[in-house]
Amino acid sequence: MRKVLVITYYWPPAGGPGVQRWLKFVKYLKGFNIEPIVYVPRNPSYPILDENLISEIPEGIQILKQPIKEPYSWASLLSKKKTQTISSGIIQERKVSTVEKILLWIRGNLFIPDARKFWVKPSIKYLSEIIKKEEIKTIVTSGPPHSLHLIGLGLKEQQEIHWITDFRDPWTSIGYHKKLRLTKSSERKHKELEKRVLNSADKIVVTSDTTKREFEQITNKPIQVITNGYDEILDAVSLDPNFTISHIGSLLTGRNPIALWQAIKELVEEHETFKSHLKIQLAGVVGEEVVKSIRKYGLDSYTKHLGYLSHEKVLDVQQSSQVLLLLEIDSEETKGIIPGKLFEYLNAKRPILAVGPNGWEAGTIVKETNSGEVCRQNDKTVLKNVLLDWFGKYEKGELQFNSKEIEKYHRKELTKALANFIQWESS
């Protein structure tokens, strides 16, 4: 088997979407004649934990660990809660406190490209010996955190290896990057590092066509789009008897679907049966502005806040819900954002109500797979009509979509594409 060193920060017991991608790739790579060797931090400061994911680590995988020094441990002395949210990329858009402003300035200007930068040099030193000992010819770095790409850069400069960068998210164009209160000098350093990484790597993996086009303006290196996907064969779960509209994941101010709340409010006022069957479920972090909007439109009593759920419980909620919400900020910058949960939504085979910008890649996938409806964030009338139509089908027991061609998003198929990419690169 061809040995491939995978360098990733997020690994069980880390929770959230960041851990899923390489946990699942590693699961299937051996089936394509590739032996992954995984390198992760020994003592990371994960903002979310999901102990259940430990059981999903494939048996027989060699996992290398080295200590990491993270500033979030001492920064939490100022505010543990605010440090945790910033470390996970959740940055409030309104009413930013003085402590948050200080933490954001420090995060953006003193820790470039990110707060895991102190893991770069010791990792290069440690892995240089591992690469020689194991006779590894190919390495993969997955970011964010993008400091892991600097580990790949350092190893590439020292040895003759094939280096593939995997960008789960863009670097300088991602939404929260602009909220880091960067100086002009810091912004320039970020862009210089991004350009250096993209032009030093042998090949690049991205999760959307939008990111591919963006990177093609910076480098002429080959770029492959490999999206996130779904994996589990789901056990049968009974549908919720209520007309349940569920959102999974962080729901902050920018994604606050005002027109949707307005549409639901009108349906509650106009249709007694809709009112008696409605249930809204929100799993994950919910922003203050979202909570206020729900209260403003009189939907408090219909809304259940589930908090953070384990991945196992998330799958159950997705399958049992009548409608699944997929929300994105309505702007040019978010067109290439394809949330990982979309693919698990597809696997759950429940109607998806996708609310986002025109030309949104996630919306295109919903349309192409016939998995739901796509609306703009301010289209109250359209949203209202869709929900009323779906509620009518729900009453008849006929609310379902016959999704098509979702098999290509299974993790095994995606891993096959990745394996072909790796093997071609190493030849």
The whole-angstrom separation of Cα 72 and Cα 324 is 34
The whole-angstrom separation of Cα 58 and Cα 411 is 14
The CATH fold of domain 2-229+410-426: Rossmann fold (3.40.50)
Residue 339, pLDDT above cutoff 70: yes
Strand partners, 279: 244
For position 84, what pLDDT does the model report?
46
Residue 327, pLDDT above cutoff 90: yes
Strand partners, 326: 354
Mean pLDDT of the region 348-362 = 95
Which residue has 């093997």 as its token pair?
Answer: 423
pTM of the model: 0.90
Residue 330, pLDDT above cutoff 50: yes
Mean pLDDT of the region 269-290 = 95
Residue 21, pLDDT above cutoff 60: yes
**21 phi/psi in degrees, rounded to 5:** -60, -55
For position 172, what pLDDT does the model report?
87
Query: How confident is residue 426, by pLDDT bands cut at 50, 70 and 90?
Result: very low
Residue 181, pLDDT above cutoff 90: no
For position 175, what pLDDT does the model report?
66
Residue 11, pLDDT above cutoff 90: yes
Tell me the domain boundaries of the chain.
2-229+410-426, 243-395
For position 20, what pLDDT does the model report?
93
Chain segment 366-397, per-residue pLDDT in tens: 999 999 999 998 899 999 999 999 999 999 99
Query: How confident is residue 176, by pLDDT bands cut at 50, 70 and 90?
Result: low
420: its two tokens = 């072909």
Domain 243-395: homologous superfamily in CATH: Glycogen Phosphorylase B; (3.40.50.2000)
**Inter-CA distances, 398 with 139, 234, 281, 309, 348, Å:** 49, 21, 21, 29, 16
Most confident of 44-53, 252-261, 297-306: 297-306
What b/e readout covers 152-183, taking b as 16+ CB neighbours within 10 angstroms? bbbbbeeeebbbbbbbbbbbbebbebebbbbe
Chain segment 48-70, per-residue pLDDT in tens: 899 999 999 999 999 999 999 88
Residue (of 289, 378, 290, 275) closest to 331 by Cα position: 378
Q: Average per-residue pLDDT in the chain? A: 90
Mean pLDDT of the region 177-199 = 88
The whole-angstrom separation of Cα 156 and Cα 159 is 5
pLDDT more than 70, % of the chain: 92
Q: What is the 3-state secondary structure (H, E, C) of 22-57?
A: HHHHHHHHHHHCEEEEEEEECCCCCCCECHHHHHHC
- Residue 173's SS3 state is coil
Chain segment 67-125, per-residue pLDDT in tens: 998 875 554 444 445 444 544 444 444 555 677 777 777 777 788 999 899 999 999 99
Mean pLDDT of the region 289-315 = 95
Chain segment 222-259, per-residue pLDDT in tens: 999 999 999 977 888 899 999 999 999 989 877 899 99
pLDDT more than 90, % of the chain: 75
Instruction: Note whether 2-229+410-426 and 243-395 share their fold.
Output: yes
- Do 374 and 348 contact (CB within 8 A), yes or no? no
Chain segment 411-421, per-residue pLDDT in tens: 999 999 999 99
